[in-house]
Structures are given as structure tokens and as C-alpha cells.
């Protein structure tokens, strides 16, 4: 049982919802990203996702793309990720997951990347563009190093894919929604609920919903049927517009009513 899993289950059992917060390492600087992640942990985030700035973030929205481009332009390199993790871990005990596309990990060396994560104090990794069928090395290395591995499922995923990705996940399953788009809210909420229902019918692994969640009502609503709500863009946007003070305010706002 992982600390991520433990946190989600303990919150659920106590009647408290869970807020998982994403923020890119190195944005706008290494120090700023450490301060941002610590502030998120201290003001309501139960689990942190530390994003890896990457040159081809095909699954990220514009706000996160701009932030990661700024981090890279400021000189961020992959090795800096582990320094960010170390500094955050020195200040908070919140579970930490790396969020990374697979190519940077592969180029760095899967085993080396895993060992660096462990040494720095991270609990595991979310791999948005990797499926278990193509993850033999990561499955073995994560087991060997006792790291969580979070795979994604989507409303378009077949039951076979949902079952396979859920079975391979440790920590939680990332259920992708496109909630919050103007004019399509009710339909998209229904898709997220249906997907979570399928995950729960096919697996005992907790599942958290992400993509498009931006306000406290949505965070509470998602926690009503899933094991946690994942927020990224809203946090990055808050920092971009109002700095650390704005990020703290947004974190507190989203955590309201979770118990």
C-alpha cells in the first residue's frame, strides 16, 4: 500500500475529500516552483503532482504549455527535477508524484530516473502517454524501487483498457474528464461519472478525476463519486496572474468544503 493510496483512502473513510495539485517544476524558477508546491501542500493539497517541462507537451493546455516553456527558457533541465523534489520534501511530508511524458524518462534512463526519484523523496510517477502494454521496463523498475505508477483512462477507453490500466496502477487510476467546458458541463460530468463507475466496477484501485476542474464546486462534486479531484491549470493560472499570494488563495478556495 502506497502513501498516496493511504492518503486517499484515509480521507475517504473520514468523510474528507482529496485535492491533488499539479505544478510544473522550474516555473518560473527552481526556487519559485519549490515555494509554490510547498504553499499548495500547506494550504489544502493532499497530494502534489510535480510536472516535468517538456518540449512537446501534446496533452497539456495552453496555460501549462506556456509555463513549461518559460521554465525551459529559464534553463530548466531534467536533472533539476530532483532538486525541486528534494527541496519540497525537506519542507512538507505531502505525498509527491512526478508527472512526466515518457520520452524524457527514457532518454534519462528508466532505472536511473527511478532511483533519483526515490533518493529525492518522491512516491512515484504519472505517465500520461504510456500504457501498460508498452511499459514492461517501468513496471519492473517501479516494483523494484517500490514506486507508485499511475496510468490514465478516458471516457473513450474500452472496458478491457480500463481494467488493464487500473490493474497496473499503484496509488490511483487517473480518470480523464473534460469537465467545465462552457455549454457542455452536464454531458461531460456524466461522462466522468460513467468512467469512474467503470473503474470502480473493474478495479479496487482508487481513482481520481482530472482535466478541466477549476472551482470549488467541481472539486466537491468530483469527490462525491471519485476518490479525489486533480487540478492543474487553475493553479498555474493563479500563479501567473497573482504570484504566490494568488496561488495560496486559489488553493484555499478549492479546498473549501472538503472536510
Q: Which fold has domain 3-253?
A: TIM Barrel (3.20.20)
Catalytic-residue membership of 60 = yes
pLDDT at 159 over 50: yes
By the 8 A CB rule, do 168 and 142 touch? no
Summarize pLDDT for 122-157 with one digit per residue, the tens: 999 999 999 999 999 999 999 999 999 999 999 999
Kindly name the residue from 6, 32, 46, 49 that is annotated as catalytic: 49
Distance, in Å, from the CA atom of 76 to the CA atom of 97, rounded to the nearest integer, reads 19
Q: How confident is the model at residue 54 (pLDDT cuts 50, 70, 90)?
A: confident
pLDDT at 60: 75
**What residue segments make up the domains of the chain, in order of their start?**
3-253
pLDDT at 179: 47
DSSP letters, 1-52, are --HHHHHHHHHHHTT---EEEEEETTSS-HHHHHHHHHHHHHTT-SEEEEE-
Catalytic-residue membership of 49 = yes
Summarize pLDDT for 68-126 with one digit per residue, the tens: 999 999 999 999 999 999 999 999 999 999 999 999 999 999 999 999 999 999 999 99
Lowest mean pLDDT among 25-39, 45-59, 107-121, 243-257: 45-59
Kindly name the residue from 60, 148, 189, 227 that is annotated as catalytic: 60
- C-alpha distance from residue 186 to each of 133, 183, 212 (Å): 33, 8, 13
What's the chain's average pLDDT?
A: 93
Amino acid at each position: 500500500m502506497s502513501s498516496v493510496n493511504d492518503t486517499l483512502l484515509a480521507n475517504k473513510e473520514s468523510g474528507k475529500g482529496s485535492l491533488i495539485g499539479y505544478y510544473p517544476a522550474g516555473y518560473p524558477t527552481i526556487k519559485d516552483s519549490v515555494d509554490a508546491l510547498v504553499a499548495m501542500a500547506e494550504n489544502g493539497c493532499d497530494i502534489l503532482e510535480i510536472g516535468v517541462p517538456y518540449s512537446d507537451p501534446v496533452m497539456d493546455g495552453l496555460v501549462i504549455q506556456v509555463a513549461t516553456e518559460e521554465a525551459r527558457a529559464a534553463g530548466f533541465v531534467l536533472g533539476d527535477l530532483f532538486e525541486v523534489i528534494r527541496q519540497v520534501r525537506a519542507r512538507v511530508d505531502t505525498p509527491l508524484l512526478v508527472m512526466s511524458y515518457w520520452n524524457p524518462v527514457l532518454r534519462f534512463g528508466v532505472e536511473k530516473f527511478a532511483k533519483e526519484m526515490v533518493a529525492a523523496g518522491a512516491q512515484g510517477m504519472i505517465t500520461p502517454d504510456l500504457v501498460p502494454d508498452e511499459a514492461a521496463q517501468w513496471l519492473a523498475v517501479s516494483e523494484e524501487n517500490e514506486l507508485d505508477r499511475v496510468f490514465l483512462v478516458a471516457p473513450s477507453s474500452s472496458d478491457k483498457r480500463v481494467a488493464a490500466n487500473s490493474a497496473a496502477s499503484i496509488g490511483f487510476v487517473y480518470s480523464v474528464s473534460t469537465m467545465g467546458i462552457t455549454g457542455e458541463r452536464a454531458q461531460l460530468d456524466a461522462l466522468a461519472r460513467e468512467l469512474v463507475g467503470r473503474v470502480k466496477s473493474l478495479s479496487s484501485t482508487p481513482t481520481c478525476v482530472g482535466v478541466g476542474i477549476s472551482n470549488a464546486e467541481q472539486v466537491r462534486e468530483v469527490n462525491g463519486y471519485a476518490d479525489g479531484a486533480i487540478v492543474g491549470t487553475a493553479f498555474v493560472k493563479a500563479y501567473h496572474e497573482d504570484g504566490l499570494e494568488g496561488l495560496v488563495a486559489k488553493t484555499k478556495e478549492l479546498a473549501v468544503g472538503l472536510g
